[in-house]
Amino acid sequence: LEQLRWMENGYKIKVGITSVETIGIDTPEDLELAERFISRFT
């Protein structure tokens, strides 16, 4: 988990609970899909 690396380096992280469905961006393809989605609103 990349969050552990932040914590190892002294950063604090926060988490939240939401009822809204979210997506993860884990690959270059995921990023491309997310950018296309966001571009519809800008």
User: Which two tokens mark 4?
Assistant: 């552990």
Domain interval for residue 18: 2-39
The conformational region for residue 10 under phi > 0 = left, psi -120 to 50 = alpha, else beta, is: left
Residues 1-42 pLDDT 10s: 789 999 999 999 998 999 998 888 999 999 999 999 999 998
The DSSP letter of residue 37 is H
The structural domain count of the chain equals: 1
Single pTM value for the model: 0.51
Residues 6+ apart with CB under 8 A from 41: none
Residues 6+ apart with CB under 8 A from 30: 23, 24
